[in-house]
């Protein structure tokens, strides 16, 4: 596993290579995470609805 110095060097290289594209990439990543969480919540809601007995779903 890389030590702290190696991680710092890797981070510096990433910033040099992708610095101008980093904000838009992180924004897209954040939107993707939000969409994933919404999808998981929708599945959980469907499972809860299916697990509830029919006479309780009035």
pLDDT digits (tens, 9 = 90+) for 18-58: 888 988 989 999 999 999 999 999 999 988 888 887 766 55
The pLDDT-based confidence of 2 (bands split at 50, 70, 90) is: confident
**Residues 12-41: b if buried by 16+ CB within 10 A, e if exposed:** eeeeeeeeeeeeeeeeeeeeeeeeeeeeee
pLDDT tens per residue, range 4-17: 999 999 999 989 98
Please report where in the chains the tokens 């110095």 appear, as a residue: 5
Could you tell me the pTM of the whole model? 0.58
Looking at residue 53, its pLDDT comes to: 77
Looking at residue 52, its pLDDT comes to: 83
Please report where in the chains the tokens 């838009």 appear, as a residue: 24
Number of H helices, E strands in the chain: 2, 0
């Amino acid at each position: 596993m890389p030590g702290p110095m190696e991680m710092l060097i890797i981070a510096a290289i990433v910033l040099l290579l992708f610095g101008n594209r980093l904000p838009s990439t992180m924004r897209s990543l954040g939107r993707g995470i939000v969409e994933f969480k919404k999808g998981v919540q929708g599945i959980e809601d469907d499972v809860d609805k299916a697990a509830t007995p029919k006479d309780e779903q009035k």
